[in-house]
Amino acid sequence: MTQLASMSPGTAQSLQAVGQMAAELHAFLIDLQERRQATAAAVTAATDIATGSAIASASPAWPSAESSTLPESSTSAQATTTAESSTLPESSTLPESSTLPESSTSAQATTTAESSTASERARRLADRAATLAHQWASARPQLAQRLERVGHKLATLELGADRARQAAAWKIAKHYEGIARLLRHEPTVAVALPELRPRNYTRNLFHIGNGFFCAGLYTAFDSRALMLAVAFAYCSWMLALEVARRFNPRLNRFLVDRVFGAISRPSEAWRMNSASWFGIAVTIMLACGVPRLACVAAVLTLGLGDPAAALIGRRWGTVKLYKRKSLAGFLGFVGVSAVAVLVWFGIFHAALLPNLNWGAALALAVPVALMAGFSGAVAELYSDQLEDNFTITLAVGGCCALVL
């Protein structure tokens, strides 16, 4: 956070508050993982003792109750559990065995004593695991509210034009996304942390430019084999980068922070980026024989409709349709996408529909444009688990192919 020194007091204070929350969230995750590991070890030990396998393979000295405590971060849980475990009965021997020969009396006594001690400690470990699980269950609502507040503050953080503020906020957001990625799959904390999608006008411009570029390629070259070869080469290159940055953290930091830092999202430091998903979708679309007009409509809809929905939804999205998605964003997606497809078909109808006059081309373009806008908006609305660059492209391409 060295950039904070050059910021205004108000800006630095707001980012320090958010950074403190992210740091506390990180500490919570570490504590949670340590407690889960301790609980799993306790349950495993208790199960092994109960089945008798642990006694057969155990060393002469079992760990004492003090040496099998939970991590230091859970001292309160340890104190509570120790108090509860002290109420266990002192004598809890197993039933006496009368099948051993008389010559093994000393061995039988030793085994019985070990079984008694092991059984008592197994019950203590099981009690600790149960107490810990109860404490996490009772604390879950407060944890969920706290984590949601952290995500909301980071999601609504205004970066502005201050480069130092952007750099500091980017580090905090990337830190948060790495933690949230693990907590979304955490069974003991039932909270769905939102993915951060801060305003990024550079990314929006790149999105629009990519849509026009791909639509221009499909319009200029009427060769499915050529377009499929280009898409396959692009997809292979992006997937190779994805694999390489997973095995090389330095390469990942270089690509995310420097090469694509201006257009990437914080979460893309930990997952496959949107451009790779787009390449996969285009390759599938072309390989499945989707008509040329449907391909053009798909890339235009993604390139213009998606950023339009984000900008309009943030500005006027007071009425929510599904989770964080708004009615204004949905309608903006439909309108901008339909107009973009309609205008493109109208301008380039000679190249796209050489056998039709302008009026016939327009009659064909209207239903395709409406279908592209509506299907893309629906796909974007419910793409909370899948990447929308993938779902929108395939949904629009498939639905427009049905119209054509």
Q: Give the tens place of pLDDT for each residue, 216-228.
A: 999 999 889 999 9
Asked whether the beta carbons of 64 and 124 are under 8 A apart, the reply is no
Asked whether the beta carbons of 7 and 165 are under 8 A apart, the reply is yes
pLDDT greater than 60 at residue 53: no
pTM of the model: 0.66
pLDDT of residue 264: 83
Q: Which of the residue ranges 139-143, 262-266, 322-326 would you say has the lowest mean pLDDT?
A: 139-143
Q: Predicted confidence band at 61 (pLDDT cuts at 50, 70, 90)?
A: very low
How far, in Å, are 60, 219, 236, 293, 310 from residue 222 at the CA level? 79, 7, 22, 11, 32
Q: Which of the residue ranges 272-281, 351-360, 390-399 would you say has the lowest mean pLDDT?
A: 351-360
pLDDT greater than 80 at residue 186: no
* Six-digit token string for 402: 């049905």
Asked whether the beta carbons of 286 and 223 are under 8 A apart, the reply is no
pLDDT greater than 50 at residue 6: no
- Backbone CA torsion sign across 13, 19, 23, 29: positive
Q: Predicted confidence band at 189 (pLDDT cuts at 50, 70, 90)?
A: low
Domain borders along the chain are: 2-183, 201-403
Report the mean per-residue pLDDT for the chain: 74
Cα(306)–Cα(316) distance, rounded to whole angstroms?
A: 15
How far, in Å, are 18, 120, 162, 185 from residue 144 at the CA level? 17, 36, 32, 14
Cross-strand pairs, 326? 320
Q: Which of the residue ranges 176-190, 271-285, 338-352, 376-390 would you say has the lowest mean pLDDT?
A: 176-190
pLDDT of residue 136: 61
pLDDT of residue 76: 40
pLDDT greater than 80 at residue 366: yes
